[in-house]
């Protein structure tokens, strides 16, 4: 649950990189509706929401629905812990929250990532590059799905989750930049690691654009598949974990960026 976009983006990044799948609710009503229809591993709850107090949400979680016994971690600017008295919580973290503290709280609650799919999407209109990528990545323990057309690859991301994407920028009809923009509009694609591997002569403006939406950038004329594989193993190790599900709820005050 999160009505502050900056806070949610920070939490989503930290949790996604740790192997969790994150959903959000900006109001208490939205959160309770989702909690009644789905099972979650944990809830990250702010005590200040636009339409409800934290104690109301805690009471509703503990008295009704399929998530009555799940861990609730309070993440809030409210320093008075007594507000949650009478409604059991796993932990109480006051903003600004450090990433280490959040991870420790989840581990203490036994909310751990599940064993994960190693599926990698490779998007490139060069069939030789696709063949090379498939051989190398499968040898490293990944399952590889290849597409020569970005539009078809984008549809694939709507049907299945991928641990990472290896993407060329130079493609007909829909180029790599357009693919990236549209991928980030898909819920399951917002935080998917993307490694750009391209022959394109990237301008300074394009490089800044890529840094905002891609995780790694490699140039085919300089970086071989071995470099791409090392980048991939940093972002989505072959022995990685599949996201567990957590949910966040915070207010719209200053972002809780990691201070350490």
For residues 109 and 136, state if they share a domain: no
pLDDT tens by residue, the chain, 260 residues: 554 678 888 888 888 777 787 888 888 888 888 888 888 899 999 888 888 877 788 888 888 888 899 999 999 887 766 555 567 889 999 988 999 999 999 999 999 865 556 889 999 999 999 999 999 999 998 999 999 999 999 999 998 889 999 999 999 999 999 999 999 999 889 989 999 999 999 999 999 999 989 999 999 999 999 999 999 998 888 754 444 444 443 433 333 333 33
For residues 135 and 223, state if they share a domain: yes
For residues 234 and 121, state if they share a domain: yes
Cα 156 from chain centroid (whole Å): 18
Which structural domain range is residue 195 located in? 117-239
Task: Judge contact between 199 and 221, C-beta under 8 A.
Answer: yes
Query: Considering the domain boundaries, does residue 214 fall inside one?
Result: yes
For residues 89 and 122, state if they share a domain: no
Q: Can you give the pLDDT at residue 239?
A: 55
Query: Considering the domain boundaries, does residue 188 fall inside one?
Result: yes
Residue 15: partners with Cβ closer than 8 Å, 6 or more residues away:
22, 102, 246
In the block, tokens 């991870």 appear at 103
For residues 127 and 87, state if they share a domain: no
Residue 9: partners with Cβ closer than 8 Å, 6 or more residues away:
none
For residues 122 and 232, state if they share a domain: yes
- Count how many residues are written for the chain: 260
For residues 93 and 171, state if they share a domain: no
Query: Considering the domain boundaries, does residue 259 fall inside one?
Result: no
Secondary structure percentages of the chain, helix, strand, coil, to 5: 40, 20, 40
For residues 107 and 148, state if they share a domain: no
Q: Can you give the pLDDT at residue 243?
A: 40
Query: Considering the domain boundaries, does residue 258 fall inside one?
Result: no
For residues 100 and 126, state if they share a domain: no
Report the number of distinct structural domains present in the chain.
Answer: 2
Cα 242 from chain centroid (whole Å): 11
Query: Considering the domain boundaries, does residue 14 fall inside one?
Result: yes
Domain with residue 220: its CATH number is 3.40.50.2300
């Amino acid at each position: 649950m999160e009505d502050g976009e900056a806070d949610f983006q920070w939490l989503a990044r930290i949790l996604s990189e740790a192997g969790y799948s994150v959903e959000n609710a900006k109001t208490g009503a939205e959160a309770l509706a989702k909690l009644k229809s789905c099972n979650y591993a944990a809830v990250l709850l702010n005590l200040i929401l636009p339409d409800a107090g934290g104690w109301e949400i805690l009471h509703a979680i503990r008295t009704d629905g399929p998530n009555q016994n799940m861990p609730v971690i309070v993440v809030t600017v409210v320093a008075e812990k007594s507000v949650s008295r009478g409604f059991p919580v796993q932990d109480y973290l006051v903003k600004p929250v450090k990433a280490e503290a959040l991870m420790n709280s989840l581990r203490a609650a036994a909310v751990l990532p599940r064993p994960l799919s190693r599926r990698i999407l490779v998007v490139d209109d060069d069939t030789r590059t696709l063949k090379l990528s498939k051989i190398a990545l499968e040898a490293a323990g990944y399952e590889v799905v290849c597409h020569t057309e970005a539009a078809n690859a984008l549809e694939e991301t709507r049907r299945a989750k991928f641990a990472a994407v290896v993407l060329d920028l130079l493609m007909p009809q829909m180029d790599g930049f357009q693919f990236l923009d549209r991928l980030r509009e898909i819920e399951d694609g917002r935080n998917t690691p993307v490694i750009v591997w391209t022959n394109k002569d990237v301008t300074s403006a394009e490089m800044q654009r890529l840094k905002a939406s891609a995780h790694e950038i490699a140039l085919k004329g300089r970086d071989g598949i071995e470099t791409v594989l090392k980048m991939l193993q940093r972002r989505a190790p072959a022995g990685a974990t599949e996201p567990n599900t957590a949910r966040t709820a915070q207010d719209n005050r200053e972002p809780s960026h990691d201070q350490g």
